[in-house]
């Protein structure tokens, strides 16, 4: 609910995206790469969940570490989702 242009406390809507980050050094750097990329276009990032870790192997050697990361973005605070906004520009809450 929107009250006088402000979202009611405790109510949020999140969109969850899944990204795969890669690194030649570690899973930690692979996960950080995914978060860094998400932060370029998404707002209000607060948590990321590493869903899966794997490695790319060639000729018996690890070539790259990969981390599949779920990243929720609060779309009620993010104006990049205009289809979820009301006519006066405030976030829609169902």
pLDDT digits (tens, 9 = 90+) for 4-16: 555 555 677 888 9
Q: Taking the CB of residue 41, how many other CB atoms lie within 10 A of it? A: 10
pLDDT in the model for residue 18:
96
Count CB atoms within 10 A of the CB of residue 72.
18
Give the per-residue pLDDT at 1.
Answer: 42
pLDDT bin (cut points 50, 70, 90) of residue 53 is very high
Q: pTM of the entire structure?
A: 0.67
Tokens of 22: 């890669």
In angstroms, rounded to a whole number, what is the distance separating the alpha carbons of residues 80 and 28? 28
**Average pLDDT score over residue span 82-93:** 44
Q: What are phi and psi of 4, to 5 degrees?
A: 45, 45
């Amino acid at each position: 609910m929107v009250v006088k242009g402000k979202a009611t406390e405790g109510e949020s809507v999140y969109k969850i995206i899944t990204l795969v980050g890669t690194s030649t050094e570690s899973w930690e750097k692979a996960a950080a790469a995914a978060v860094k990329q998400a932060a370029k276009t998404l707002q209000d990032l607060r948590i990321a969940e590493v869903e899966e870790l794997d490695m790319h192997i060639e000729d018996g050697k690890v070539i790259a570490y990969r981390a599949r990361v779920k990243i929720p973005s609060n779309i009620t605070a993010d104006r990049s989702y205009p289809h979820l906004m009301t006519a006066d520009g405030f976030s829609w809450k169902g």
